[in-house]
A and B are shown apart, each in its own frame.
Chain A
Amino acid sequence: MSKIKIVQNILEANDAIAGQNRRLLDKYKVFSINIMSSPGAGKTSLILQTLARLKDKLKAAIIEGDVASTIDAEKVKDHATAVVQINTRNMPESCSLIANMIDSALKNLPLEEIDLLLIENVGNLICPSEFALGEHKRVVISSLPEGDDKPIKYPMIFEGADAVIINKLDLLPYVDFDIPAFRRAVKGLNPRVEFFEISCKTGKGIETWCSWLLNEIKANSQKLI
């Protein structure tokens, strides 16, 4: 009997594929964001609002991750250059997209034609925080009806986010969501995070979010030249 030292990160295989995805996206100058939230927080609505605002400025593709169904892909397909639906139900990871699912999806997208890739992750606040996909920015949406305690219950996803979007602002008169307390909790974990307060229903705040996104796309493409 002997002992063999290994010391290898178990997520290394996923991270290596995520790195390949990122290099492929950079090669074609495609900026990508990984959109994460609990089910029903407004990932698809944010994508639709973003596409509507930016349709004259850039070409976008969408990867839709869901356990089952093509409902979200149907909703966005007329507004994007291309859409790939991933159903995770029969895959080794059903509660989150993982890097090799994105690797397969990228093979079915016209990367030379697009500027932006929006990846809608499976609705879940735990598993997606573990798996890098190759995205440039990680975006987490919290909506008012979910309550302001989510950063305390699910710290890791907020700690790893580049941007946190507070959605369904139109419901503020009807729900007890303490926005300053929510922002303090997120900021405590993640001082460099950007906040956006929006309503996909009324369109409030979408302009500011889209300006940020355009700036990030521009900054990234300048970095790649």
Chain B
Amino acid sequence: MHELSITQSIVDVISKKSQEGQVSRITQVNLVIGELSGFVPDCIKFYFDFLSKDTIAEGAVLNFQLIPARLRCRDCSTIFSPQGRDWTCPECHSLSLEIIGGRELYIESMEVE
């Protein structure tokens, strides 16, 4: 049930945005989701079909741009994308790592008619 409330937010944001112009229907929604955000695209799709029913967004296709985790080593400044759960710097093996990417969770744009 983790994705229900954020999917409702997506429907709310795009419905509101569509009122700003001459929009008869939303056809596509482009979402950017980081690997670390913990939200599952298939779940968002599932809820979206349900929550967008009878709204201007009904039938819209959701496109997901998935952003991998990016870490920066605090000891040697190497930037890398970890493989799975092995969060160790590939250069100096440090565990002191700053998360610099992969938390994204935003609506990038939508296509309308």
Contacts of A4 in B (CB 8 A): 17-18, 21, 109-112
- How large, as a class, is the contact surface on chain A? 35 or more
A8 at the interface (CB under 8 A from B): yes
Is A185 in contact with B96, judged by CB distance below 8 angstroms? Answer: no
Q: Does B52 contact A (CB under 8 A)?
A: no
Residue on B nearest A181 in the bound complex, by CB = B95
B2 within 8 A of partner (CB): yes
Q: Are B96 and A187 in contact (CB under 8 A)?
A: yes
- What would 8 A/B residue contacts be, using CB atoms closer than 8 Å? A1-B113, A4-B18, A10-B106, A10-B107, A11-B6, A187-B96, A189-B97, A191-B74
Residues of A within 8 A of B95 (CB): 184-185, 188
Choose among A1, A5, A92 the residue that contacts B109 (Cβ–Cβ < 8 A).
Answer: A5
Distance to closest chain B CB from A195 (angstroms): 15
- A-side residues, CB < 8 A to B, are 1-14, 92-96, 98, 126-127, 129-130, 152-153, 155-156, 159, 184-185, 187-189, 191
Quote the shortest CB–CB distance from B44 to chain A (angstroms). Answer: 9
* Extra inter-chain contacts (12) besides given A10-B10, A10-B107, A127-B38, CB under 8 Å: A6-B107, A7-B108, A8-B106, A10-B9, A11-B9, A14-B5, A130-B38, A152-B87, A185-B95, A188-B94, A188-B97, A189-B87
User: Looking across the interface, which residue of chain A has its beta carbon closest to that of B110?
Assistant: A4
Q: Is the CB of A156 within 8 A of B36?
A: yes
Q: How far is the CB of B76 from chain A (nearest CB, A)?
A: 13
Q: State how many angstroms separate the Cβ of B15 from the closest Cβ of chain A.
A: 12
Instruction: Give the residue of A8, A96, A189 whose beta carbon is less than 8 angstroms from that of B13.
Output: A8
Residues of A within 8 A of B4 (CB): 92-93
> B81 at the A/B interface (Cβ < 8 Å)?
no
Contact A159 B1 (CB under 8 A): no
The CA-CA distance from A156 to B106 in the complex, in Å, is 18
| Contact present for B105 and A95 (CB under 8 Å) | no
Instruction: Please classify how large the interface on chain B is, using the bins under 10, 10 to 19, 20 to 34, 35 or more.
Output: 35 or more
Instruction: Tell me the B residues contacting A by CB distance below 8 Å.
Output: 1-2, 4-6, 8-10, 12-14, 17-18, 21, 27, 31, 36-39, 74, 85, 87, 94-97, 99, 103, 105-113
Whether B74 and A6, one on each chain, are in contact in the complex, defined by CB atoms closer than 8 angstroms, is no
Bound state CA distance, A187 and B95, in angstroms? 8
Partner of B112, one of A2, A129, A152, A185: A2
Closest chain B residue, CB of each to CB of A6: B107
Return chain B residues, CB-CB under 8 Å to A2. Answer: 111-112
Residues of A within 8 A of B5 (CB): 14, 92-93, 98
- State A44–B4 Cα separation when bound (angstroms): 27
Q: How far is the CA of A92 from the CA of B17 in the complex (A)?
A: 23
B16 to chain A, nearest CB (A): 10
Q: Give the Cβ gap from B88 to chain A, nearest Cβ, in Å.
A: 9
Contact of A3 among B1, B2, B38, B111 (CB under 8 A): B111
Q: Given A8, A11, A126, which contacts B2 in the complex, CB threshold below 8 Å?
A: A126
| In the complex, residue of chain B having the shortest beta-carbon distance to the beta carbon of A153 | B85
